[in-house]
């Protein structure tokens, strides 16, 4: 294996590659900042953002807590609408059903609109293996399909490509040299994909929300390709995660208020389409046959798990990616899964039971909580990352050196005498490397730190060493406490003892 | 009223001057801090890395140290934030869980205590410098300490408070993250330090020594003469100066 | 083929129904409750309470709709009656050198007599004959014309629903779209429209309900905003009344 290949196998290695790709870093930074600012403006303009967010969370919590009822209702209602509903436990099951439909319909070509679920299934490769031509129709998805890559951002899949690279890819497709001009490139794609839409046998979509009470599915998009895919071909196949459900159209108002604002800062995406079954007999357009495949693929593992059930509340807006300082530096591909960013760092390991293969994806976070703050349905991703790390350690899969270090930490920190001794030993040991109160050596355990910083030395006298004399001095010159303040303090203590929540 | 200082291991071992500034400043308001010496570390390094058994070993010293305190004050939103995790950490032990709940309710980050309990928003400090403020993630996001430091800073005479570009972005410290994912952490702290330089401030101030150690270390590495201070230190110096 | 296909679909359906039971039992099991067979009380239905009563005056609705729709790159004109709509469309058709136009088969639009007024333009009425490839007619059209069934000023959206006489393609495939909003159909909030779909219930819903909030757009190439990627790149909204 070459050095580059080795690097590509761990989060750390992939991150290193990304950090050395200047264009990628700048592009990701620029895009995420733009989206983040858009979201901030949109949520400020709306007003009462926290109330909307809380409402969104409550609707999602309620739906997931009663998912057996709502999903069942959705499936039954969709059938009454004339939809063929299928259930898939695994990615393989979903692929099998999709291929069976494609074969039955003797399909030669499929046009797809953006769907993260189909990325989970690696559906394009599967369809191509039975000779079906698959075309991604979202502009960004089309670009990365031509490049043979995977999306690096939920909302902006080709965030990592510049216009020159895109012009090269599209020129190959066009058989002529196209200039790196956005309008011309997009114009070429419009014309090219128009033909594909009109000749495709099957249109394939994802699903942003599914409405239980009426068996309808809802798509949010800006380009119009999802409408094309669900209007023009005679067969529509929709892949949806089993958790996409909301009870009613009224609940959609909350999701429609949160999702576009969080994703791109729009008040609503250019198109929001609610589709209720295939075409009515007398209609002039719309698919004759409609299939909805409902996928589990590890989702149900989160149900009943108090630490992770809220993961299913995710509405796939990508706001956590845009807010995440780690994502901004390493981009989506460094996460190594279908979903990237903070949601990917939690979702990927949670959906896969193979804990030993989690890599160190959950370690790629400072736990700064920006993801939680950005999340329109308040998923505590920063806490979940800690739970993942803990589960790995509990199963004895933690890093060996780290385990030894942590045992040492516990031994020292569980007893203040041992802690004081450790400080003494540390002060002696650091004499070898300290110069002017700093340590600059890049040897040993400080290497990673000192590649970017200098480390401070331990103080000559710790606070606890100084406290005795300091306390005496302070008590000597102590001021009188303001009786108002002292009353307030007493009241706080009384309230607390009476069962108050405390100051938060 | 027993008001206790939770010094936090980093201030104890590396930055004792922060504890001193806090103690001397509070004394001016008649608060005589008490310092239980059996305290060690809040346990966050182990907790965040998934080693909860080890975190509990450390956290128990904190539960014990502050058991009979009425108020517990620390110069760190992150370590107080860790105390907010104690109920989860001890959820299977009813006795320790009760203690954890009790401690959570009485724990305050330094500016929270100063502003919300003592009711002080102007300590009467003078600090004639250009200053920029980094709001550390755990303090501002987990504890919601946003307005308190701003109020205190706005009332410092002679001080020019310059907004830090992208202030709310994490500095890249993240505890063991800085070592495990050192290159990502390095890229983040480089960016944070760039923003500090961009502000053209002479002094960077914050509420968490771990983050400040990270940014200061990077600024020193790049030989940038920016003074990095905890707000307690700045206020105390400003009061003495006045 | 048709028969075997129907048989295959029936086979798939029976497999799916069996699977559905297993699926739902699995979910209920994991959630730790017996299978729910009646609707659980849903105390958080719809928007927060403070929003439910929010509303703008007619003038504010027009202003907000206009601001939002124009910010998204669309064009809005306030006209007093269908007579003015007719002149607007005719002059736009000439200005844009339209050769093909398609409109929904709706009484208000049929009354505009565009066929007669625009002799050089091929004007078709959606689904007005049975043996026509209507999708192709919409795809070739320079301009599609629809009546908005609703509009929402808070988001700057028009809403069109499908039926025998109202094609989904008419608002999607032409290069330019003209949508007419009778003033009384312009609401403040999304919820005022969505509630109607809840109240109508499954059986009354059309196959397609589309909210359209401007011209088709993409920022997928270097964040550079491109208009008209797949759907209409030019959208005119005419508020009438």
- Let me know whether A308 and A335 are in one domain: yes
Residue A295 and residue A242 in contact, taking contact as beta carbons nearer than 8 Å: yes
CB atoms within 10 A of CB C19: 17
Those residues whose C-beta lies under 8 Å from the C-beta of residue A481, and which sit 6 or more positions away, are: B29, B30, B31
The pLDDT of residue A303 is 96
CA-based nearest residue in chain A for residue C133? A284
Indicate whether A43 belongs to any domain.
Answer: no
Question: Is C90 inside a domain boundary?
Answer: yes
What is the structure's pLDDT at A3?
39
C20 → closest Cβ in A54, A72, A254 = A72
- Cα B111 from chain centroid (whole Å): 9
The CA-atom distances, in angstroms, between A279 and each of C110, C166, C193 are: 24, 12, 22
Which of A279, A297, A315 is the last residue in one of the domains? A297
Q: Do the chains contact at A65 and C162, CB–CB below 8 Å?
A: no
User: Would residue C156 count as lying in a domain?
Assistant: yes
In a domain, A170, yes or no: yes
The confidence score (pLDDT) of residue A101 equals 97
User: How many domains does the structure of chain A reveal?
Assistant: 4
**What's the whole-number mean pLDDT along residues A302-321?**
96
Nearest to A384 by CA among A295, A322, A302: A302
Question: What's the CATH number where A336 sits?
Answer: 1.10.1060
* Cβ-defined contact of C231 to A271 (cutoff 8 Å): yes
C18 at the A interface (CB within 8 A)? no
CATH code of the domain containing C65: 3.40.50.10420
Residues A214 and A134 reside in one and the same domain: yes
Residue A33 domain-assigned? no
Distances A240 to A103, A118, A121, A269, C239 between C-alpha atoms, Å: 21, 9, 11, 20, 37
Which DSSP letter does residue A232 get? S
Q: What is the pLDDT of residue A15?
A: 87
Is C77 inside any structural domain?
yes
Question: Which of A:214-273 have CB within 8 Å of C?
Answer: 214-216, 222-225, 227-228, 230-232, 242, 247-254, 256-257, 264, 266-273
Chain-chain contact of B217 with A453 (C-beta, under 8 angstroms): yes
Of B32, B49, B214, which to mutate for an interface test with A (greatest number of A Cβ within 10 Å)?
B49
| A366 closest CA partner among B142, B175, B43 | B175
As given in the structure block, the two tokens for residue A273 are 């389409």
SS3 C98: coil
C113 in a structural domain: yes
Taking all residues of chain B, what is their mean pLDDT, rounded to a whole number? 96
Return the residue in A160, A188, A226, A249 with the most chain C beta carbons within 10 A, the one to mutate for interface testing: A249
Minimal CA separation from A285 to chain C, in Å: 6
Chains A and B touch (3+ CB pairs under 8 A): yes
Question: What pLDDT, on the 0 to 100 scale, is given for residue A356?
Answer: 63
Residue C92: both structure tokens together: 């736009």
For CA atoms B117, B119, B124, B128, the dihedral sign is positive
- Mean pLDDT of the residues in chain C: 96
On whether both A322 and A194 belong to a single domain, the answer is no
Give the per-residue pLDDT at A9: 74
Using CA atoms, how far apart are residues A437 and A148, in angstroms rounded to an integer? 53
The CA distance from A21 to A15, in Å, is: 10
State how beta strands C157-161 and C150-152 pair. antiparallel
Q: Are residues A94 and A217 in the same domain?
A: yes
Name the least confident of A62-76, A118-132, A153-167, B150-164: A153-167
Whether A502 is covered by a domain: the verdict is no
pLDDT band at A358 (very low <50, low <70, confident <90, very high): low
- C176 confidence band (pLDDT: 50, 70, 90): very high
Segment A214-225 mean pLDDT: 97
Query: In this predicted model, what pLDDT tens digit does every residue of A471-494 receive, in sequence order?
Result: 999 988 888 999 999 999 999 999
Closest of A306, A310, A290, A341 to residue A243, by C-alpha: A310
Show which of residues 135-174 on chain C sit within 8 Å of chain A, judged by CB atoms. 135-136, 138-139, 154-157, 162-164, 167-169, 172
The per-residue b/e assignment along C48-66, b for 16 or more CB within 10 angstroms, e otherwise, is beebeeeebeeeebbebbb
Task: Give the CATH number, domain containing residue A230.
Answer: 3.40.50.10420
Q: Per-residue pLDDT for A4 more than 50?
A: no
Burial of B154 by CB count in 10 Å (0-12 exposed, 13-18 middle, 19+ buried)? exposed
Establish if C6 belongs to a structural domain. no
Same domain, A147 and A217: yes
Q: Which of A297, A314, A345 is the last residue of a domain?
A: A297
Cβ <8 Å between B58 and A453: no
Confidence of residue A429 (pLDDT cuts 50, 70, 90): confident
Q: What is the mean pLDDT of chain A?
A: 92
Q: pTM of the predicted model, to two decimals?
A: 0.95
Q: Determine the structural domain holding residue A88 and report its residue range.
A: 48-297
Chains that touch B (3 or more CB pairs under 8 A): A
Judging contacts by C-beta atoms under 8 Å, the chain A residues touching residue C198 are 213-214, 248-250
Residues A61 and A107 occupy one common structural domain: yes
Are A450 and A489 found together in one domain? no
- Dihedral, CA of residue A240, residue A246, residue A252 and residue A254, to nearest 10: -120
Number of domains in chain C: 1
DSSP-based three-state secondary structure for A211: strand
What band does A2 get if pLDDT is binned at 50, 70 and 90? very low
- In this prediction, residues B101-108 reach a mean pLDDT of 97
- Beta-strand pair A289-295/A109-112: unpaired
Per 3-state DSSP, what percentage of chain C is helix, strand, and coil (rounded to 5)?
40, 20, 40
Which residue, A189, A183, A151, A156, is CA-closest to A170?
Answer: A189
Please say if the pLDDT value at position C74 is more than 70: yes
Average pLDDT over every residue of C38-47: 96
Tell me whether residue A336 is in a domain: yes
- Between chains, do B119 and A480 touch, taking CB under 8 Å as contact? no
Number of H helices and E strands in chain A, helices first, is 23, 13
The pLDDT value given to residue A7: 57
User: What domain range includes position C143?
Assistant: 59-240
For A393, the 3-state DSSP assignment is helix
* A375 pLDDT above the threshold of 70: yes
What pLDDT does residue A5 have? 46
| Contact criterion met (CB < 8 Å) for A213 and C198 | yes
Assess whether A136 and A12 both reside in one domain.
no
Helical (H) or strand (E) element with A70 = helix A67-80
Helices (H), C96-225: 107-110, 114-117, 134-140, 190-200
Residues A290 and A372 in one domain: no
Q: Tokens in use for A190?
A: 């419009």
Domain boundary residue, one of A352, A372, A392: A392
Do the domain assignments include residue C47? no
pLDDT beyond 50 at A133? yes
Same domain, residue pair A292 and A311: no
Question: Beta strands of A418-461 (E only): which ranges?
Answer: 434-435, 438-439, 455-456
Q: Which of B119, B214, B220 sits opposite A438 (nearest CB)?
A: B220
Q: A289 and A173, same structural domain?
A: yes
CA separation for the pair A200, A133 (Å, rounded): 9
- Predicted local confidence at residue A1, as pLDDT: 36
Q: Give pLDDT, residue A349.
A: 86
Q: Is residue A484 part of a domain?
A: yes
Same domain, A119 and A211: yes
């Amino acid at each position: 294996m070459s050095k580059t290949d080795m690097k590509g196998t761990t989060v750390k290695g992939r991150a290193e590659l990304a950090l050395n790709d200047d264009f990628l870093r700048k592009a990701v930074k620029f895009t995420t900042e733009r989206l983040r600012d858009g979201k901030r403006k949109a949520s400020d303009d709306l007003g009462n953002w926290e109330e909307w967010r809380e409402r969104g969370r409550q609707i999602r919590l309620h739906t997931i807590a009663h998912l057996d009822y709502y999903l069942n209702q959705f499936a039954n209602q969709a059938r009454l609408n004339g939809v063929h509903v299928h259930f898939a436990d695994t990615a393989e099951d979903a692929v099998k059903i999709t291929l069976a439909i494609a074969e039955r319909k003797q399909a030669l070509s499929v046009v797809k609109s953006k769907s993260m679920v189909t990325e989970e299934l690696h559906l394009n490769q599967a369809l191509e293996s039975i000779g079906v031509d698959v075309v991604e129709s979202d502009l960004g998805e089309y670009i990365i399909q031509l490049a043979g890559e995977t999306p690096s951002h939920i909302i902006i899949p080709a965030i990592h490509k510049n216009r020159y690279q895109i012009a090269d890819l599209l020129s190959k497709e066009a058989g002529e040299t196209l200039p790196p001009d956005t309008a011309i490139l997009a114009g070429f794609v419009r014309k090219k994909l128009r033909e594909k839409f009109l000749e495709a046998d099957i249109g394939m979509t994802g699903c942003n929300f599914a409405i239980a009470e009426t068996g309808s599915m809802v798509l949010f998009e800006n380009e119009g390709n999802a409408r094309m895919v669900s209007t023009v071909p005679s067969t529509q196949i929709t892949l949806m995660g089993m958790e996409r459900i909301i009870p009613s159209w009224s609940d959609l108002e909350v999701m429609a208020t949160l999702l576009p604002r969080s994703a791109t800062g729009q008040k609503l995406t250019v198109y929001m389409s609610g589709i209720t079954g295939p075409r009515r007999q007398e209609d002039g357009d719309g698919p004759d046959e409609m299939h909805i495949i409902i996928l589990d693929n590890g989702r149900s593992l989160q149900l009943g798990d108090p630490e992770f059930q809220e993961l299913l509340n995710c509405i796939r807006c990508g706001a956590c990616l845009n807010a995440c300082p780690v994502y901004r530096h390493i981009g989506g591909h460094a996460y190594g899964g279908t979903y990237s960013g903070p949601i990917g760092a939690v979702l990927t390991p949670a959906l896969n039971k193979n804990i030993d293969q989690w890599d160190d994806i959950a370690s790629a976070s400072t736990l700064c909580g920006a993801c939680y703050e950005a999340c329109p349905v308040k998923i505590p991703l920063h806490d979940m990352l800690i739970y993942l790390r803990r589960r790995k350690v509990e199963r004895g899969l933690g890093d060996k050196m780290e385990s030894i270090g942590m045992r040492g930490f516990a031994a020292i920190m569980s007893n203040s005498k041992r802690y004081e001794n450790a400080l003494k030993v540390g002060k002696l040991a650091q004499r070898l490397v300290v110069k002017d109160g700093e340590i600059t050596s890049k040897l040993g355990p400080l290497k990673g730190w000192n590649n970017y910083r200098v480390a401070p030395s331990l103080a000559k006298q710790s606070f606890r060493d100084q406290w005795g004399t300091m306390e005496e001095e302070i008590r000597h010159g102590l001021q009188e406490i303001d009786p108002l303040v002292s009353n307030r303090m007493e009241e706080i203590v009384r309230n607390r003892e009476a069962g108050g929540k405390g100051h938060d | 009223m027993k008001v206790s200082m939770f010094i936090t291991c980093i201030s104890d071992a590396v930055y004792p001057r922060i504890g001193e500034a806090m103690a001397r400043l509070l004394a001016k308001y008649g608060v005589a801090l008490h310092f239980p010496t059996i305290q060690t570390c809040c346990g966050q390094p182990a907790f965040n890395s998934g080693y909860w058994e080890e975190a509990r070993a450390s956290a128990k010293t904190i539960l014990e140290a502050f058991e009979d305190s009425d108020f517990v004050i620390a110069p760190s939103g992150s370590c107080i934030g860790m105390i907010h995790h104690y109920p989860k950490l001890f959820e299977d032990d009813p006795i320790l869980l009760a203690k954890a709940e009790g401690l959570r309710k009485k724990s305050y980050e330094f500016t929270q205590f100063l502003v919300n309990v003592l009711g002080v928003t102007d300590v009467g400090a003078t600090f004639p410098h250009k200053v920029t403020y980094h709001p550390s993630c755990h303090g501002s996001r987990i504890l919601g300490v946003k307005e308190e430091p701003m109020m205190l800073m706005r009332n410092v005479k002679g001080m020019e408070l310059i907004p830090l570009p992208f202030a709310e972005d994490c500095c890249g410290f993240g505890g063991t993250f800085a070592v495990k994912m050192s290159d990502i952490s390095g890229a983040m702290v480089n960016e944070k330090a760039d923003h500090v330089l961009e502000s053209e401030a002479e002094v960077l101030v914050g509420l968490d020594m771990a983050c400040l150690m990270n940014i200061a270390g990077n600024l020193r590495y790049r030989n940038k003469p920016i003074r990095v201070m905890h707000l307690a230190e700045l206020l105390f110096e400003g009061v003495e100066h006045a | 083929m048709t028969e075997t296909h129907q048989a295959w679909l029936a086979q798939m359906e029976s497999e799916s129904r069996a699977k559905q039971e297993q699926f739902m039992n699995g979910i209920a099991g994991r959630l730790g409750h017996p299978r729910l067979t009646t609707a659980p009380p849903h105390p958080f239905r719809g928007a927060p309470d403070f929003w439910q009563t929010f509303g703008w005056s007619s003038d504010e609705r027009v202003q907000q709709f206009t601001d939002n729709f124009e910010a998204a790159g669309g064009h809005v004109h306030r006209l007093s009656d269908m007579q003015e709509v007719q002149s607007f469309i005719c002059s736009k058709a000439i200005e844009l050198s339209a050769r093909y136009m398609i409109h929904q088969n709706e009484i208000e639009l049929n009354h505009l007599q565009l066929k007669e007024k625009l002799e050089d333009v091929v004007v078709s009425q959606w689904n007005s004959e049975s043996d026509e490839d209507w999708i192709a007619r919409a795809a070739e059209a320079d301009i599609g014309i629809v009546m908005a069934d609703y509009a929402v000023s808070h988001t700057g959206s028009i809403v069109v629903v499908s039926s025998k006489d109202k094609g989904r393609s008419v608002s999607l495939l032409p290069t330019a779209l003209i949508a007419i909003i009778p003033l009384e159909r312009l609401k403040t909030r999304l919820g005022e429209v969505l509630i109607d779909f809840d109240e109508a219930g499954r059986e009354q819903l059309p196959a397609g309900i589309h909210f359209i909030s401007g011209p088709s757009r993409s920022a997928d190439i270097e964040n550079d905003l491109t208009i008209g990627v797949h759907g209409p790149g030019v959208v005119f909204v005419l508020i009438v009344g």
